[in-house]
Structure formats: structure tokens, C-alpha cells
Structure 1
């Protein structure tokens, strides 16, 4: 499966873009969300120095048809609401790609994490564009279960190397001592460690945020 991190820019006509840019220091954290047939429902925690003003602006906005307070303080409020413009929820529903919660929105931008098949991610990109959501790719990679990264033997040797202090500075165990501890030849221990380290380092480098953000998501998925 592929895993992607996207930064979305909300359309100007949508309530969350208008209110979050009017109060750019406020943070909107979507804790739960569910789309209906024509509307969407969400539980959002708002934080910042202008919480009363933000809640008042939400209560007055025509795209929010219902709003109730679940928790309130001077600098934080949790609200449940219904909206006629749940573009992100609709994009998720139509593509069949669940968006991992919580989602944080600030100053008109939302950062989302999604994991699924390449086909579903490509469909999500199409739906985002369909609903007028511009997106910037922060990160995309193939996600494998950790058991697929190393063999059982490699896991055993790496775990022993860490436990015995082979990777400590200074080292508490030499390669010879580690091989003796495992009951294997020094050459076998060295080769197994090297292959495991190669897999781990390559995975680490793949995870670095070096994605070309100007390349469409569909093309990036095709190349991973």
C-alpha cells in the first residue's frame, strides 16, 4: 500500500477557509467526522486566543446549519456541527479512501494522512480536484509491514546487536563477541548485519521528505 501526506488549500467559498484565514492564529483539530447524504457532521477542537470570536463566526455562518458546544474555556472549545460544505468528507467518501484523524486545519490549510492502494489514492486526488481542493504533496511512499523489511534471522541478529551494545558508543560488544553470543560464524554475523543495515538505511532514506511537490499525485504513485 502507499502512504501519503498532503497539505490541502480550502476553496475560498468554504466556511473553514473563510473563518480560519480570518483568525489565522487559531487551530481547528477535527477529532471525528462523518458524511451524510447532503451534509456532513464533525467534532472539532478549536484552540487559540480568539476562541469566542471563532465560535461566534461559526454560529453565524450560513454553511453551518447546526452547532453545539461540547467543551468551552477561554482558549479552547470543542464543538459539534453540521455543514452543507463537507468537501473533504465527500472527497474521502467518493474515493473510498479514509482520511486518518485527527486532521489539523490552520489559516486555510489542512494536513491529511492517508494510506491505501495506489488506485484509491489516485481516485482521492481526482475527487479533491473535483471539489476544488488544491493539494500539495509533502510525502508519498510505499508502506510495508515491518516484518517485510527484514527476515526473521536479520531481526534476531539486529535485536541481539542492540541488546549486547554493538551499536553503543563506545561499543560494549565487538563483532566477534556478538557472533559468539549468537553461536554463529563471525563472517555470517557480519553479512547478516550488513544486509539488515542496508535495508534499514534504504528505508530511512526513502522516508525523507524529498518528493517533488509539483508532480501530480497520480504520477508519483505510478513511479513508486
Structure 2
């Protein structure tokens, strides 16, 4: 993983977004490939012994069917539905999938949630110093795990960090009138322009707005 175009510094921060194929032996790979049009979001997860305690969300045309496939999977236990409607289900459960986090823990970097899973692949964000970022890349290389680096932003200010994708989403949403009152376009139209699904567009815009508002409030103080 190369970052030679950036000059190292003590306060340097790198924020990156990765896409990585899931190991076929994980239950979430099996479920997500069985329902390739569904979006699974791991909202939080904590490895405990040989299992993981997780809060996960399903978004699909028939979210109930996907949630049922998760609940009845042999590697999932103690499934409890927290919220459900026809297109969205949130559940709390235990799962045998510590391998999903091991490569992050091995590089001393906790996972950043939510982790997005679609059709056997996961996307996640990583914020690290240059040294931590390079160590993470070395861990991936040593394990022979293929990945795509979707975006990378280098900054010396943690509070003003916006990824290129976040900036693009905000720009498109603003240009099309998504923030107008009343709105001049729908989230689906913004997502279509960006070439992503609505859940991805919504999450990216939410993260970007949160950072912009947070910086504004910080500056005001």
C-alpha cells in the first residue's frame, strides 16, 4: 500500500475507504451472496472469545426473508429482532465470525462501524496515522487479502477530514437541491447520479454533514 506522495508528519492523519472480498467461510458471505440485492450493515460488533456480539441491519425489498436467513444460519445464535418493517430489519445476535475483525485487531486498529456488506464484499472506513496505515497495508499483504482502495485523504487536521467521496456526494446533493426546503430532488435521484444505491448515498451524506456541522460548531466555540 503506497502513500509516498504524502510527506510524513507527527500529526498526519489518513482516512481511507476499502472494499474487500469476504472469506467464503463466514456466514455473512453466505447470506449476502444468497441475497445479492440486499444491503447488510454491521452497526457494531464486539469479539468475545470465539464469537462476536453484533447489531446488524438488513435493507432489502424483502428484508424479513434476509433476516430470517440470518436468524436460522448455523453460525448465528441468540437472534433478537430490535426493529422490523418490510424493507428494513435490525437485529441483535451472536455470530461465529471473529475472522471478520482479526486483520484489523492484528494491526492494532479497531473497526469503524458501520461496515457495509453486499454480495460477498464489505466496505469500511479506516482512520489512522501514516505508520498505522502502512502497518495495516502490511497486514493485508502478509495475509494475501485482495482489496480495493476506494478513497484516501491525507490531512493534518482530524476535524476537517472529508473523503473525496463525501465531498462528491455533498456537491451532487447540493447542486440538485436535496438540501432545499422543500427538496428539489429525492435521495434516490442523488444516488442515481452518483451511481450508488440509496443506502450508500444516505450514509455517505450523513457522515459528511455530521463532519461539516461538527466543524462549524467547533469553530463557533
- TM value normalised by structure 1: 0.59
Q: Secondary structure at the match of 1:101?
A: coil
1:106 aligns with 2:105: no
Which residue does the alignment assign to 1:5?
17
Which residue does the alignment assign to 1:85?
97
Q: Of residues 45, 65, 84 in structure 1, which corresponds to 2:57?
A: 45
Rounded Cα–Cα distance in structure 2 between residues aligned with 1:138 and 1:47: 22
Rounded Cα–Cα distance in structure 2 between residues aligned with 1:130 and 1:70: 39
Q: Secondary structure at the match of 1:34?
A: strand
Alpha-carbon displacement from aligned partner over 1:131-163 (angstroms, at most 9, x marks no partner)? 775311112232221799xxxxxxxxxxxxxxx
Which residue does the alignment assign to 1:137?
149
Give the unaligned 5+ runs of structure 1.
149-224
- CA drift at 1:4: 1.3
Instruction: Provide closer, same or farther for how the CA distance between residues 56 and 3 of structure 1 changes in structure 2, counting only shifts above 3 A.
Output: same
Aligned pairs (5 A) from 1:164-203: none
Q: Secondary structure at the match of 1:57?
A: helix
Conserved 8 A contact 2:51-2:98: yes
Conserved 8 A contact 1:35-1:93: no
Which residue does the alignment assign to 1:118?
130
How many residues are aligned here? 149
- CA drift at 1:55: 1.6
Larger radius of gyration: 1
Conserved 8 A contact 1:10-1:133: no
Q: Secondary structure at the match of 1:53?
A: helix
- CA drift at 1:113: 0.8
4+ long deviations beyond 6 Å: none
Alpha-carbon displacement from aligned partner over 1:24-56 (angstroms, at most 9, x marks no partner)? 111111211112232111111111112222122
Rounded Cα–Cα distance in structure 2 between residues aligned with 1:60 and 1:134: 30
Instruction: Provide closer, same or farther for how the CA distance between residues 145 and 75 of structure 1 changes in structure 2, counting only shifts above 3 A.
Output: same
Instruction: Provide closer, same or farther for how the CA distance between residues 132 and 40 of structure 1 changes in structure 2, counting only shifts above 3 A.
Output: farther
1:69 aligns with 2:81: yes
Cα root mean square deviation, aligned: 2.5
- TM value normalised by structure 2: 0.60
1:56 aligns with 2:61: no
Conserved 8 A contact 1:97-1:121: no
Which residue does the alignment assign to 1:25?
37
Rounded Cα–Cα distance in structure 2 between residues aligned with 1:14 and 1:29: 15
Conserved 8 A contact 2:64-2:84: no
Give the unaligned 5+ runs of structure 2.
1-12, 161-221
Q: Secondary structure at the match of 2:74?
A: coil
